[in-house]
Amino acid sequence: MKEALPEINLKAIGTVRNEIKDPVWRPSEDVVSEIVVDSSLTEALDNLDEFSHIIVLYWVHKSPRRAPVKVRPRGNPENALKGVFATRSPDRPNPIGKSTVRLLERRGNALKVRGLDAIDGTPVLDIKPYMPGYDSVDDARAPSWVVKR
């Protein structure tokens, strides 16, 4: 059966601002970024600062749009090829990044966060509160070739 898969149009809701100007594999966990949200959506950020952590979905705009089906994790040529959906490679069919970050401050339409894995100018697609229990798994298992960051 051939599926007819739809095309979907999004509009970014905001932009990442930080000191990371070049695409790199992994910005440091300590980088502080600002997410500047479109001013029409300022009130949509209300109550977010009642959460310690948020989930940011963003568009990896520097990713080539012809994604490979297999990649070497963390871009390391010594790593064996893995299916791209089994990795967090930014070079994926729809290059959407997901970072869980600490929310340091909300001021108007700007969020200051720590640990966002995105470079300056990255378009932001969605912001969600991190909900312990719903977003976390106690007994999750990952293979040994996965290391944190």
- Residue 46 is a binding residue for a second copy (CB under 8 A): yes
Strand partners, 107: 110
**Region 15-44 residues binding a second copy, contact defined as CB under 8 A:** 15, 36-39, 41, 43-44
Fill in the per-residue mask, 52 to 91: x = in contact with a second copy (CB under 8 A), - = not in contact.
xx-x-x-x-x-------xx-----------xxxxxxx---
- Residue 143 is a binding residue for a second copy (CB under 8 A): yes
Distance CA(136)–CA(26), nearest Å, equals 22
The CB-of-19 to a second copy minimum distance in angstroms stands at 18
What is the end-to-end Cα distance of the chain in Å, rounded?
38
Q: Give the Cα-Cα-Cα angle 83, 88, 89 (nearest 5 degrees).
A: 75
- Name, in order, each residue with C-beta under 8 angstroms of 29's C-beta and a sequence gap of 6 or more: 114, 115, 149
Nearer to a second copy, 21 or 65 (CB): 65
Residue from the set 32, 63, 91, 100 that interacts with a second copy by CB under 8 A: 100
Give 30-86 as a DSSP string. Answer: T-EEEEEE-GGGGGGGTTGGGSSEEEEEEE-TTS-SS--SEE-GGG-TTSPPEEGGG
Nearer to a second copy, 104 or 125 (CB): 125
- Contact residues for a second copy, defined by CB under 8 A: 2-3, 5-15, 36-39, 41, 43-48, 50-53, 55, 57, 59, 61, 69-70, 82-88, 92-94, 96, 98, 100, 123, 125-137, 139-143, 146, 148-149
